[in-house]
Amino acid sequence: MNEAQILQIAVAIIINSQNRLLIVQKQSSTYYQLPGGKIDEDEQPVEALCRELKEELNLALSQEQISLLGIHEAKAVNEVGKTVRGYVFSVDIPESEESLNPHAELKEVYWLSENEVPDYKLANLLGEFALPVWLGKK
């Protein structure tokens, strides 16, 4: 695959105290996706994740809260002809930080319950990798 067609991203699976999965919607998208974003050329995936979560959700993380679950490639939903290579991390946040508001390019932040999954238009990486992890099917 042509590396120019691959978008390197770092995203987080964050599950709250009610076993709901955090999803976000960017201003320019009809899809919901995992919080995170593109990895800059000079960044490690975990650094990009920390930067993106600070910008988008005002979440400051420590290394102890983050663990890599895997790398998954999926068809990009917002950029035609591109593939996302997602570095997918599990992020633990305290219950006191579960009240999150959208910042930067985010339009909405939502805690998704299992029975609401069919009601939301989910990005491929979220559907193919994060849902099975969250729902214990991976």
Each residue of 70-123: pLDDT tens digit?
999 999 998 889 999 999 999 999 999 999 999 989 999 999 999 999 999 999
Percentage, residues of the chain above pLDDT 70? 98
Confidence of residue 1 (pLDDT cuts 50, 70, 90): low
Please tell me the pTM assigned to this model: 0.94
Q: What is the pLDDT of residue 138?
A: 47
Give the residue ranges of DSSP H helices in the chain. 45-57, 124-125, 131-134
Q: How far apart are CA 102 and CA 83, in angstroms?
A: 25
Tokens describing residue 94? 């305290």
Residues 38/132, Cβ–Cβ less than 8 Å: no
